[in-house]
């Protein structure tokens, strides 16, 4: 695996290739990231990953400065997963001047759920992803479905800007107990780690209720929030939404259940897809 730190080096390395496949990350890699790298390999003629902790998507009170940087481990994991080229720019390289041009996603999609609780988050995500896509110019880019709303925002951005890039969705990788793998799981204490699976279990309980015929979505969401809060969580949302646009569903819509809640000092997110005819799919 070759490692480059500048855009010029990146472009020189990519010059012989026509169809890069790309996996952007913020580092602190786990098996979920590596599954995306392995999924990317058959999508192109060279597999590229990036590591960049993007200041633009962190709120002032969030964990930008303390976000784990695990460079040596990340490099070993990427190489073992078959990554060919790692692009690891510093802030000066990616933002050599103040980033005053920003990508503003539509409020109807980006200011709800995650965007409501993390104002400006998707502006930061879209801006850095657009810039990384411009640097790598991939044929395909792989994003995990654990960040469900983010995947949807990026897909629409790529479509509306007519970028010649296929956005490929990677299924969520889970621990044996069902907890979605996340870089922030490392913040959990041993007791919190044992408790953390309750977020995915709450989504499954909501799915079971819907399959049993529950129709009062507001009451179902409120009950799920209260159940987590009673266990010591601080839930931001547990929501039933239409999969096509994350709006309030109508009868017959394919659904996705989304949750975000804080356990101790760690904020976790998860989701579960449903379809009208099949009920709950595997957690994604």
Kindly provide the b/e burial profile for residues 214-248, where b requires at least 16 CB atoms within 10 angstroms of the residue's own CB: eeebeebbebbbebbeeeebebbbbbbbebeebee
**Which residue from 96, 22, 89, 102 is spatially nearest to 57, judged by alpha carbons?**
102
- Please tell me the number of Cα atoms within 13 Å of 268 on its side-chain side: 27
Contact present, 34 and 77 (Cβ < 8 Å): yes
Give, in order, the Cα–Cα distances in Å from 22 to each of 4, 19, 186, 222, 271: 14, 10, 25, 39, 24
Query: Is residue 84 within 8 Å of residue 127, measured between CB atoms?
Result: no
Residue with tokens 């590229």: 48
Do β-strands 2-4 and 85-87 pair in parallel, antiparallel, or remain unpaired? Answer: parallel
User: Which of 5, 19, 30, 33 is labelled catalytic?
Assistant: 33
Residue 116 annotated as catalytic: no
Q: Environment class of residue 166 by beta-carbon count within 10 Å: exposed (0-12), middle (13-18) or buried (19+)?
A: middle
What is the spatial distance between Cα 73 and Cα 78, in angstroms, rounded to a whole number?
9
Q: Which residues are catalytic?
A: 33
């Amino acid at each position: 695996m070759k490692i480059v730190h500048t855009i010029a080096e990146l472009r020189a390395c990519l010059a012989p290739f026509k169809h890069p496949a790309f996996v952007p990350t913020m580092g602190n890699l786990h098996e979920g990231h590596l599954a995306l790298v392995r999924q990317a390999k058959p999508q192109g003629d060279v597999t590229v990953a990036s590591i960049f902790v993007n200041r633009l998507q962190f709120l002032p009170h969030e964990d930008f400065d303390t976000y784990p940087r695990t460079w040596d481990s990340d490099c070993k994991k990427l190489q073992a997963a078959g990554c060919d080229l790692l692009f690891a720019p510093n802030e000066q390289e990616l933002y050599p001047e103040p980033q005053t041009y920003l990508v503003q996603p539509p409020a109807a999609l980006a200011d709800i759920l995650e965007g409501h609780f993390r104002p400006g988050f998707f502006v930061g995500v879209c801006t850095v992803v657009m810039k990384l896509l411009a640097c790598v110019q991939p044929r395909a880019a792989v994003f995990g479905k654990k960040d469900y709303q983010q995947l949807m925002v990026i897909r629409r951005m790529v479509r509306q800007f007519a970028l010649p890039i296929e956005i490929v969705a990677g299924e969520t990788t889970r621990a044996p107990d069902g907890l979605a793998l996340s870089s922030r799981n490392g913040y959990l204490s041993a007791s919190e780690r044992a408790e953390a699976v309750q977020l995915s279990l709450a989504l499954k309980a909501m799915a079971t209720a819907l399959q049993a015929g529950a129709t009062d979505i507001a009451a179902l969401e409120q009950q799920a929030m209260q159940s987590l809060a009673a266990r010591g969580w601080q839930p931001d949302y547990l929501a039933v939404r239409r999969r096509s646009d994350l709006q309030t569903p109508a009868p017959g819509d394919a659904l996705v259940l989304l949750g975000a809640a804080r356990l101790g000092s760690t904020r976790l997110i998860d989701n579960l897809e449903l379809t009208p005819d099949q009920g709950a799919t595997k957690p994604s």
